[in-house]
Structure 1
């Protein structure tokens, strides 16, 4: 069974562009990416769409569908209002290369700025002994597929472009939190998170959590605990005393984890 769907697709490049309406066949059970592929095959062979796995695990097909940041491969046509046009635009926070493809390279530049996993110097391969309880917190963050929908929807940069040089966004603040919570890591990245990555700009509105296709509790399990650790590092009187007399900084205080119920 097939129906005719109306798609309003943004066409253009970094200079200019606009919405172009198409009538395209849509079959029962299809996702938005299926219909975009049919549109490429039948009417718009030059339509630029980034995709790879079509299974919700590569994060490539990020776009805004009816104004909401989504993965095109995970958005079924049946989820959208029947009989109404489907508006498809590129994710808004990043520069457009062409049509639905954006330049997200600034995210990878941020990734390279994070100090990598740093075990104790005396640790040798095979020395790690960790229980599941040890790894349960950073393990959740490893589910990230780097679709950058969280960075796209964050109003700190989405609505205030002047903040972009100073704010790494939820994805890479979450990466800092992941390493901070690793039981075998010894580096202290808390001041990097605050001073270089702009953790203080985040006002925990949870918009990043709401759009995460992997249902990671970014705000509750990464950003808020990271803010608490930064506060401990900067304002805890015992840590201040340790810094003053030259002791190694890094007093850690664990915070309760909010169970991930998004599976």
Structure 2
């Protein structure tokens, strides 16, 4: 088995500040960045804080930035880097640092609570839901999300403008709204919830300028921009600006 010594720079610190610290660490064939972080903990920095769980790319816990790009530590193979380069590992930039590579991502859970839940169709028991596969194929893609929040981290609306966080849900939760809006059994409209309107008015859909940076970092390869955000924008614009839709709303009293 081939092994070599790699140069790592890892951010160390807490909410009060910190700095990058240099390490030289052994790398073995087939390892991922998370393996190296664990080796650093075992041999050189026993107090290094990192969040992780499954080590299989399914829990979303080990999100960080590697050479400035939001990635999962457990899914980033050392073989993608040359043996000569220095690998820099830093915490997610969009969220407050707790310690070292661990960030406070509670912003995302707060946004999740603001999205109205699935509204069951009236008169149908939960075990009696029936849907054709063709009707669920579009929203089914979005269920692959592991909530690593890499899309939230790389979205410049959140990343570069702290003041936007109060009024912008971010791509992960706009995708959730799109998923519910596409759901063949969601009865939100009948319950007085207009998902397209709330996406625009309450969750900041208009802030998104479809740069596709969220799609580029998604470890599940969900086409967030093309399949969720753009269609949601189109439906929201139709409802708000299309004169025929506006006239239909007035005639049939679909809105107040």
Q: Take 1:129 and 1:236, find their aligned partners in 2: how far apart are those partners?
A: 33
Cα deviation code 1:5-57 (max 9, x no counterpart): 11100000011100000111111110000010010011101000000000000
Q: In the alignment, is residue 55 of structure 1 matched against residue 56 of structure 2?
A: yes
| Corresponding residue of 1:133 | 134
**What is the SS of the residue equivalent to 1:215?**
coil
Picking from 203, 227, 232, the partner of 1:226 is 232
Structure 2 gaps of 5+ residues are 189-193
| Corresponding residue of 1:115 | 116
| Corresponding residue of 1:240 | 246
| Corresponding residue of 1:255 | none
Once superposed, which parts of structure 1, at least 4 consecutive aligned residues long, lie more than 4 Å away? none
Cα deviation for residue 186 of structure 1 reads 1.8
Cα deviation for residue 130 of structure 1 reads 1.2
Q: Take 2:119 and 2:243, find their aligned partners in 1: how far apart are those partners?
A: 26
Q: Take 1:121 and 1:114, find their aligned partners in 2: how far apart are those partners?
A: 20
Q: How many residues align?
A: 249
Q: What's the C-alpha RMSD, in Å, of the aligned pairs? A: 1.2
TM-score normalised by length of structure 2: 0.94
| Corresponding residue of 1:192 | 198
Q: Take 1:136 and 1:153, find their aligned partners in 2: how far apart are those partners?
A: 27
**What is the SS of the residue equivalent to 1:24?**
strand
Cα deviation code 1:35-80 (max 9, x no counterpart): 1001001110100000000000001000010111110000010111
| Corresponding residue of 1:8 | 9
The structure with the largest helix share of the pair is 2
| Corresponding residue of 2:221 | 215
Q: Take 2:99 and 2:126, find their aligned partners in 1: how far apart are those partners?
A: 46
TM-score normalised by length of structure 1: 0.92
